[in-house]
Chain A
């Protein structure tokens, strides 16, 4: 399973855009399990509609490619749901390790 996190936008997008990619084949069994559970929890969270008044917020797009389909979660600074936030941090952590 491949999980991609694209962070875009912000006060200065050229300096703040980031991509983090996790290939679960490189993870331990416990890491794979924790990531899968968090993905499931985040997918169940209703994502708020974009705030049209917001300026300089970053967007976070999480794409989960597993099997034939791809699932996507999109969130924005100021309105990130709890499980989605945890998933973002986990992806960043696993991508670095």
Chain B
């Protein structure tokens, strides 16, 4: 029940937003206090993450090992840098350490996820693996980086999106568990490219319009003819030269490649056909605008972690993103329409797009203000997302008042 100090009650977000814009400083402060303590916001870390300097810290645990150009089985090496240790004289070690940290921070601060397993899993990386080793991979427990041959490729630690790509395989492993072949495998690869790119974009402060949407441009030597491993903006155009040939990625289902489901066919083209969902995400992000890790990233993350199974096909994933977008941002919202249009442009018609209301949340009860009692953390992120700019400005004004 409300007393005369109505701002201490649980008030709907739209009213709080209005109060945040008040010219009365006391009203603004009270609205902010309400946001922070309101039971509508289940995770205080969400709102704190929006305030400069007030980000809640997770328990980050990074361990870097040096394989000294050997290939021990399983991959391992000498411990060279642990969590909190000072940088070493080895740039590769420091790049791996920093990249793991940036990826952890992104998942924690943007998506509320505590490491790959959601429970603070330690992040291990092995560097200097092999001699002239032209690859980086996730072995189910750790990241492994090669130094490159020095002719075509340099150290794979130089690419933040590659680091985040590989770690995201761990996230997928602990959530949707997508099978690594054909369309489920291509989704697995696409999700790693999506969040790999988002980690980089977030790190560089790039929005969807200013990001390059390239995967791994930093792994090529200056003399290498390669430009990027893949392009989410333009699948099929990441490279075209006599050394590497032409980028074979399709950007539309009409060009889907039915490759053999074996190691010579890239397990049914998991790194090839990932171009299609990659491009869908790019289109969604461009249509929505702003930072791609906001609405688009949250829609994809919610889909991956709560609405995707091991055998998901592109159609399943597309349908799920459409439903998630409706739940997080509203039926017929800009975000949901962008999701529908993005998938349509790559040749996938989402189910239920013709009757958008059918995608409305089906919960058993709602508060008087319309919120579902089963709102997920992602749903809270979406609502807080709309207030973030105002909160930032308010926090700054309070700091300098």
Show the binding face of A for B, using Cβ within 8 Å. 6, 8-16, 48, 51-59, 61, 77-81, 85
Contact = CB atoms under 8 A, between A and B. Distances in A.
Contacts of B162: 11
Given A12-B216, A12-B271, A15-B226, A77 B264 contact: no
Given A14-B247, A14-B272, A56-B166, A9 B139 contact: no
Given A12-B271, A15-B239, A54-B139, A77 B144 contact: yes
B238 to A, nearest CB: 9
Interface of B: 71, 73-75, 134-141, 144, 156, 162, 165-166, 169, 173, 180, 188, 192, 216, 226, 229-230, 239, 244-245, 247-248, 263-264, 266, 271-272
B245 A6 contact: no
Contact of A56 (B169, B173, B226, B239): B169
Contacts of B173: 53
Interface centre among B74, B135, B173, B226 (most CB of A within 10 A): B135
A16 B74 contact: no
A13 B216 CA distance: 13
Given A16-B135, A54-B140, A56-B137, 11 more contacts: A12-B271, A52-B180, A53-B138, A53-B140, A53-B173, A56-B138, A59-B263, A61-B263, A77-B135, A77-B137, A78-B139
A16 B134 contact: yes
A57 B137 CA distance: 5
A75 B226 CA distance: 27
B140 A11 contact: no
A8 B166 contact: no
A13 B74 CA distance: 22
B36 to A, nearest CB: 40
Chain A facing B: main interface SS: loop
A78 B156 contact: no
Contacts of B156: 11
Contacts of A79: 73-74
A55 B267 CA distance: 11
Contacts of B216: 11-12
A81 B73 contact: yes
Contacts of A14: 244-245, 247-248, 271-272
Contact of B137 (A10, A48, A52): A10
A6 B262 CA distance: 13
Nearest to B249: A14
